Structure 1
Amino acid sequence: MSRLGKITRRTFLIGSATIAGGVAFGYYMYRRPHENPLLDDLAEGEAALTPYVKIDAEGVTLITPRTDLGQGAYSVQAALIAEELDIGLDQVRVDPGPPAPAYYNTALAAESVPVRSTNDGAMANTVRGVADAVMKFAGVHVTGGSSTVPDSYEKLRYAGAVARETLKRAASERTGLPVSRLKTEQGAVVLPDGSRLSYVELAAQAAQVEPVTDVELRPPNLWRMIGQPMQRHDIVAKSTGTAVYGIDLAVEGMVHATIKLNPRQGGSLQDYDATEALAMRGVQQVIPVTGGVGVIADNTWRAFKAAEAIRFDWGPAPYPNDMDEHWAALSNAFNEDQIDARRRDEGNVVEALDRASEVVEAEYRAPYLAHAPLEPINAIVRVNPDRVDVWTGTQIPRFVQANVAKIVGVDSEQVHIHNQMVGGSFGHRLEDEVVKRAAELAKALPGTPVKLVYSREEDMRHDFPRQIAMARGRGSVRDGRVEAYDLGVAMPSVTASQLSRQGLNVPGPDLQIIAGAWDQPFSIPHYRMTGYRADGLAPISSWRSVGASSNGFFHDCFLDELIHAAGADPMEERIRLCWHEPSRQVLETVKAMSGWTGPRISENRGRGVAFCLSFGVACAEVVEVTQTDRGIRIDTVYVAAEVGRVLDPINFENQVQGGVIWGLGHAMNCEITYADGQAEQTNYHAYPGLRLYQTPDIVVQGLENGDKVLGVGEPPVPPAGAALANAIFALTGQRIREMPLNKHIRFV
């Protein structure tokens, strides 16, 4: 590889990147790509053209910039590149790459504009295109919103195809054979006589040729991996306990740290006494940080114990102290002055309800919820005069880079992020408070790596939970059909709260307040959906399926109430109301899967159906329950989802099943409540999720009728709680309008 020349071009038509010691390929749909993210460190003898494929003396490395949070993101990104590159997943390494504008997320734009996902008109697509351009201009390198697959599906296949054809051109120049007589197979260019030139052998020459950008993607009938069950690259390590997460890392010379912050999120530290803590074995220092103190020790456990020994005088909470005040704030938000958005107002709801012989009214509630991933948040930061290194698992690497640079007082280019495999997130790693506090500690200890780990209790106390929300519905029926549907939802702004911690603001309405409710594909003659913003509540953040996580429960359960009032079948009336063909097929599929003949199966068994369109994915679920002597048992859940194309049926099934378990467990058993401004639930004993013995059989079917490829990490969550509540009503006649459901009914 010593013959490789140094490539100095900053950009290329299809995008660019630098990978030390090799040649890289990538694809951009715009003619003016971002600068190559790695050329600053390019050494003599190293070459790179674009971001996604590295070929060097060690072999092939695929750059997979969307963070793996346990959902298989690295594997699916690698498979998309490898499919076109003609290489096996067992022949490659994966690397998340550096934080860079070049890795902006194209798919996030869809959730940021007030356009229904079912609207494929010219104006709607223009609006999406503008939003996508904004994402590119800002270089939004973010993982979230079930966007990994839709963002990567074409982009990474093109990257693989460009690499493949460029390697063939390099082989042609070496051998004198026309490209048309060459083919690729298992990491090599194959000559007509059957001899092979490995990609490693060709890397030096490929670095010197003009990349081939006019490529055709292979049709599905020639795919080797996409659409087939794949073994994830991390499955062996995870199965044998050898997988390395951020919390497992050790850096030479590092010290261990934990933190103690005001348990009233965002409150101040007025005074503290660390005398007892400083006298404890292994404790080295207690260092003030924003909102509290950090404890430096020779191991994490000793840091934990010392933190507990510090006496604090904390300031008050900057939000209501108790839950009654939080609920009151939501209730008071239902007024014209606090309307955030009314994106749907069809027919004339007011007149329809005025003339109705009977108006159905209901109020629904959804609590704050923690993220509570298995891996507590952690980070290692080392501050040297000319370089800062950060080892952590994050979904927002560029924000982390900028924030650490600001805290330490260096240029962002001097901050190097080493993104790690994450042991669960559910939105938790869209925040970077742990890295900010670690940077403060490391700044106070220059040259020493500081490993900061939050205790489970500290992690949950200082989680930014899912939004609290309330909904009020009014509706009417006529001639056995739903006629009028008026739903208002009040909640704080997730987006405003989250962006405020990055020094940003939301200039207009927050679509997450009405997500999963305003754009449902039902033709109801008089149909209105209003979002109200409640301010001044606890700080919150994105939680798996964000606004739809509560709105899916509100919207579908109230629709179920109206269908019952009409005397109609819950499944048949949803199908009748649904005007969107892909969504209707999802409902018809789950009807067939469950053998639906009505909401009652027998005297002691019932079932409920729910539907929610979120993140562009139509998802319907049927939950079957049994009444036992000890309480309600969930037997089976049937799920159908339209995602355009299933890339890996095994991982697809796992993602859907995980979403259902997540949705059911939180709907049944979980809440975060505040007393004296402090979260009362600080560990799993008080926040149990779905227990193994409560977990039902989950039957999954993915539909591939849509014209867009979509992600499925979040869409199974919103219908789960709604289908369960509807099933309980079908069986018992008890309409539960508040989560967690176990406040009102016993589960076994």
Structure 2
Amino acid sequence: MSEQRDVIALSTINRRAFLRGGGIGAGALVIAASLPGMLLPTDALADGPPPGAAPPPPQLGFGAMIAIARDGVVSFICPSSEMGQGTQETLARYVGEELDCDYARLKVLLPWADPLFVNPMMRRQMTANSATTVGYFTALRKAAAASRMLLVQVAAQRLGVAEGELTTANGVVRHAASGRSIGYGDLAEAAAKLPVPAQVPLRPASAWTIIGGSTPRKDLAAKVRGSAEFGIDVVRPGMLIGALALGPHPRAKVQATNLDKVRTMPGVTAIVPVEAGYAVLSPRFWQAKKAAEALELKVLSSPTAGLDDKGIDAAMERAFASVPPMEFPDFDFATMRPKEKRADRAAITAALAGAAKRVEATYDVPYVAHATMEPLTCSAHFADGQLTVRGPLQSPEAVRTELSQVLNIPFDKVRVEVTYLGGGFGRKWGVDFPVPAAQAAIATPGRWVKLIWTREQDIAMDQFRPAYRVRQTAGIGADGRLQVMHSRIAGQSINTYHHRKSPPGIADPTAAGMLIYGCYGIPQSLIEYHETKDLSVPVGFWRSVSASQNTFFAEAFLDEVARAAGKDPLAYRRAMLAGEPRILRVLDKAADMIGWSKPKPRGTGHGIAITYNEGHVCAEAVRVRVVKGKLTIEKIVAAFDCGPMIDPKGVESQISGGIVFGLQAAIWGEIPFAEGRPNVANFGEFRMPLLADIPPIEVALMPSGERPGNAGEAGTPPIAAALVNAIADAGGPRIRRLPIARMLEI
């Protein structure tokens, strides 16, 4: 986004708005950046649009708040959701760097749904797609820098000196020549009355002291001490706790046949029909849970009735045979509006027919759950026509809209507040789980209600990563070079399930994106998607979305192509990446870290894979040992470049955490279906890695001069491909169907 489009508005916020906004304090200087025409009254910052106003469209702009109280303490309402990935720390560093405040005293507060909190890049208030660090990078820094400029302006007037004679540090404006200084808290009220500067220069990277440094995370102390409020921690006086009795599918229709009997059970306050089932409310969770388990549900209809794994396989085969494919074109990003580069089908067919050697393979991945540490939960309160929802939400804006529309409540009467998230990974982007909580609250007006999904329900009612099948064909020239590739993918569309529109005339990017890597410069390539339209399994965004499976398909198959050409897989990639120095640099680092060129004992193998986008490059390499069908992972390494790194320790944690997340899916992750239901109940069946399962992981951070990029999802995609490539290199089977535990003991 152009920096010239950022407009910064400052205003003195009243006591009511401060309290509603998170208890900042009265008389503070408040900074919000937005588009022209979006300068709302300060109460709107806390309460949303004026009463009776229509829901605002997504805005391109920034709306997080920075407040300076009279005691000099800076409070920052972080617009994004904190689910362990460190967004509070990252965005707070933007503020601290440009504001020059006392960073140790800067307070970070949790957000609520508000049109002024929109991510400028996403044009929504949501935490997904690793877009937080990049999306707020310019706008939030400019808001903080503008505030500092106004504080300096007031200080210059009071001290009777030129602004250029003043410096700032740790929340104080100083005049070195006279030894005088004034704290920000004494300047804030007057600064709020000044006009906004027309130009807001930002500090160059060479002058950064907080960004890129090492400080304790802002959310660390609260989480260690237990004072951080996660969704399941919400407690209010007189609160009812709800347990659920649910059907086999979120859109199933069910009917309880013994309601009257269950209503008489100890502690039962109410039984409320909600989406896909019933909520049983009680002052105590275990009483509610026992009563919910006693409900006998008759399934009237279910979108997955009778579905099993054979039916899923058959549906994908039917899609290949009968669903016309939709092309996912390559894109030329050299222009402001990327140009589509469509493939020549006839030329692809001819090139494959005339290739010196042809390689074909079919790859599969199953449905996979999110399995967040904190199961789904949400709290709600309804009184006097006002609905308030509080919970672990990745998309509070979408939740607010959904609640207004589904429950027929005026938009301005819906308030959505965000707690900490005990993991998200895309699952808590969903809007499905706040709705039952709101329905239960509406049925018991005046009392807070908290619904808690059990682990079994959290898995069974998940929005899974879709199962996909890919058929890939490659043509190799007489010189061993890859000349042509055709990849076809079948499986469900996430966009279709959620009634979202894909770009017209283009295959759903969540299914087909990056199925063939453009960075390799393959002379001719074609990606086609056969949407499996007769499957209705709940599907949704899973960490790294299409890259999570398509990197496995693309990078594992490329290894097969390299070996068919008689080439070393690393050397084969290097030759194809001659025009991609950034990617090549990262690939070489990972190869060096794993000791690619060193001799290996028999039964030991190395594998490597990359993932990339416009914001990052990640290469991962694995060393394994395969002996008599038993797999041992000896070491995993990663090299990573996402431009300047705001919080290097946080970046390293994201990459290593992403590797573990992807490792679970690659080795054990699978949701089988039987009789129309997921055939997995808890972690006994959906195995999670234990500490003893995790090999040594080394991460090399390679900051560069590129624009800031994303890190939260980058570690997950390459691990499955690197792992199966290493297994094949060690003399084990070429694994084309995940999870790996189907074929090898580990």
CA apart distance, 1:544: 0.2
Cα-to-partner distance string for 1:203-232 (whole Å, 9 max, x where unaligned): 211121112241211122221111122310
Equivalences for residues 631-670 of structure 1 within 5 A: 631-670=630-669
Equivalent residue, structure 1, for 2:134: 150
Separation in structure 2 between the aligned mates of residue 249 and residue 32 of structure 1, nearest angstrom: 36
> Which has the larger displacement, 436-445 or 353-362?
353-362
Q: 1:327 aligns with which of 285, 294, 313?
A: 313
Shift of 1:522: 0.4
Corresponding residue of 1:267: 252
User: What letter is aligned with 1:14?
Assistant: I
User: 1: distance between equivalents of 2:64 and 2:474?
Assistant: 53
> Aligned in 2, Cα 1:506/1:288: closer, same or farther, shift over 3 Å?
farther
Task: Indicate conservation of the 8 Å contact 2:64/2:79, yes or no.
Answer: no
Per-residue Cα deviation, 1:407-437 (whole angstroms, up to 9, x for no partner):
5543222222221110001111111222110
In the other structure, the counterpart of 1:169 is: 153
Report the equivalent of 2:691.
Answer: 692
SS of aligned partner of 1:466: coil
Once residues 660 and 615 of structure 1 are traced to their aligned partners in structure 2, the CA distance between those partners, rounded to angstroms, is 20
Task: Check whether the contact 2:460–2:677 (CA below 8 A) recurs between aligned residues.
Answer: yes
What are structure 1's unaligned runs of at least 5 residues?
Answer: 1-10, 43-48, 109-134
Displacement, 1:498?
2.9
3-state SS, counterpart of residue 210 of structure 1: coil
Indicate if the aligned counterparts of 1:264 and 1:316 stay in contact, CA closer than 8 A. Answer: no
State the distance in 1 between where 2:317 and 2:10 align. 52
Cα 1:440–1:226 change in 2 (3 A) is: same
Q: Does the aligned pair in 2 maintain the 1:253–1:449 contact within 8 Å?
A: yes
Deviates more, 1:299-308 or 1:206-215: 206-215
2:553 corresponding residue in structure 1: 554
Task: Give a deviation string over 1:353-387, Cα, whole Å, max 9, x none.
Answer: 21234422111001111111011111111111153
Q: Tell me whether 1:208 sits opposite 2:196 in the alignment.
A: no
For 1:338, which of 314, 324, 327 is the aligned residue?
Answer: 324
Counterpart in 1 of 2:339? none
2:66 aligns with 53
Return the alpha-carbon distance in structure 2 between the equivalents of residues 23 and 736 of structure 1: 59
Aligned to 1:703: 702
Render the CA deviation track for 1:6-31: whole Å, top value 9, x for unaligned: xxxxx994256755232212445x54
Do the aligned residues in 2 keep the contact of 1:606 with 1:728 (CA within 8 Å)? yes
1:548-575 per-residue CA deviation (whole Å, 9 max, x = no partner) reads: 1111111111111110101101111111
Q: Is the 8 A contact 2:63 2:118 kept in 1?
A: no
Contact 1:13 1:32 in 2 (8 A): no
Residues 63 and 334 of structure 1, relative CA distance in 2, 3 Å threshold:
same
Residue 41 (structure 1) shift: 6.1
1:194–1:514: structure 2 CA closer, same or farther, 3 Å change rule? farther
Task: Give the 3-state SS of the residue equivalent to 1:14 in structure 2.
Answer: strand
Report the equivalent of 1:533. 531
The whole-number CA distance in structure 2 between the counterparts of 1:518 and 1:66 is 32
Q: Which amino acid aligns with 1:298?
A: P
Residues 283-310 of structure 1 deviation map (CA, whole Å, 9 limit, x = unaligned): 2121112221110111112111111111
Q: Deviations over 1:85-124 (max 9, x none)?
A: 112432111123332222222333xxxxxxxxxxxxxxxx
For 2:161 and 2:707, locate their aligned partners in 1 and report how far apart those are by CA, in whole Å: 39
2:442 is the counterpart of 1:443: yes
Q: Please report how far the alpha carbon of residue 716 of structure 1 lies from its aligned counterpart in structure 2 after TM superposition.
A: 1.5
Amino acid at match of 1:546: V
Aligned to 1:420: 419
Instruction: Tell me which amino acid in the other structure corresponds to 2:523.
Output: P
Structure 2: how far apart are the matches of 1:330 and 1:474? 18
**Preserved contact between residue 80 and residue 111 of structure 2 (Cα < 8 Å):** no
Give the drift of 1:512: 1.4
The equivalent of 1:489 in structure 2 is: 489
Cα distance change on mapping 1:106 and 1:270 into 2, 3 Å: same
Task: State whether residues 516 and 614 of structure 1, in contact with CA within 8 Å, keep that contact through their aligned partners in structure 2.
Answer: no
- CA 1:705 to 1:221, structure 2 compared with 1: closer, same or farther past 3 Å? closer
Residue 188 of structure 2: SS of its match in structure 1?
helix
Change (3 A) 1:629 1:563: closer
**Paired amino acid for 2:129:** G
Question: CA shift at 1:613, angstroms?
Answer: 2.1
Distance 1:159 1:220, change over 3 A: same
Deviations 1:248-268 (A, max 9, x none): 110112111122221234211
Q: Check conservation: 2:9, 2:196, Cα contact below 8 A.
A: no
Q: Which SS does the other structure have where 2:606 is aligned? A: strand
What fraction of aligned residue pairs are identical, expressed as a percent? Answer: 29
**Aligned AA (2:554):** H
Q: 1:177 to 1:536 in 2, by over 3 A?
A: farther
- 1:306 maps to 291
Match of 2:29 in 1: 23
Residue 480 of structure 1: aligned partner: 480
User: Would the alpha carbon gap of residues 239 and 719 (structure 1) be closer, same or farther in structure 2, given more than 3 Å must change?
Assistant: same
C-alpha distance in 1, partners of 2:503/2:144?
37
Distance 1:51 1:619 in 2: 30
1:225 equivalenced with 2:210 (yes/no): yes
Separation (CA, whole Å) in 1 of partners of 2:491 and 2:644: 34
1:580 equivalent in alignment to 2:563: no
Given that residues 249 and 538 in structure 2 are in contact (C-alpha distance below 8 angstroms), is that contact kept between their aligned partners in structure 1? no
Contact 1:495 1:506 in 2 (8 A): no
Does residue 1:280 correspond to 2:248, yes or no? no
State the 1:83 CA deviation: 0.7
Q: CA deviation at 1:626?
A: 1.7
Q: What pairs up with 1:588-607 in 2 under 5 angstroms?
A: 588-597=588-597, 601-607=600-606
Contact 1:496 1:506 in 2 (8 A): no
Change (3 A) 1:16 1:487: farther
Q: Matches of 1:34 and 1:459 in 2, distance apart?
A: 41
Matches within 5 A, 1:49-128: 51-57=64-70, 59-108=73-122
Superposed, 1:495-506 pairs within 5 Å as 495-499=495-499
1:481-520 per-position Cα deviation (integer Å, ceiling 9, x unaligned): 32332211122111232346xxx78755321122232443
Shift of 1:525: 2.8
| Structure 1 length-normalised TM | 0.89
Deviations 1:634-667, CA, capped at 9 Å, x for gaps: 1111111221111111111100000111111110
**Structure 1 pair 36–490 and aligned structure 2 pair: CA distance change class (3 A):** farther
> What is residue 235 of structure 1 aligned with on the other side?
220
724-733 or 529-538: which moved more? 529-538
Aligned to 1:256: 241
Task: Check the 8 A contact 1:104/1:142 in 2, yes or no.
Answer: yes
Kindly tell me the number of residue pairs found equivalent between the two proteins: 696
Whole-Å separation in 1 of the counterparts to 2:125 and 2:232: 23
Structure 1 partner of 2:740? 741
TM-score between the two structures when normalised by the length of structure 2: 0.89
Question: Aligned-pair distance for 1:157?
Answer: 1.3
Distance 1:564 1:368, change over 3 A: same
Task: Tell me the SS of whatever aligns to 1:333.
Answer: helix
TM-superposed CA distance for 1:672, in Å, is 0.8
Please state how far the C-alpha of 1:336 moved relative to its aligned partner. 7.7
Q: Sort the Cα spacing of 1:16 and 1:366 in 2 relative to 1 into closer, same or farther, 3 A.
A: farther
Contact 1:276–1:309 under 8 Å retained in 2: no
8 A Cα contact 1:37 1:100, kept in partner: no
The secondary structure found in structure 2 opposite 1:717 is coil
Residue 149 (structure 1) shift = 0.8
* Structure 2: gaps of 5 or more residues: 19-25, 48-61, 331-341
Bigger Cα displacement from structure 2, 458-467 vs 407-416: 407-416
Q: Secondary structure at the match of 1:24?
A: strand
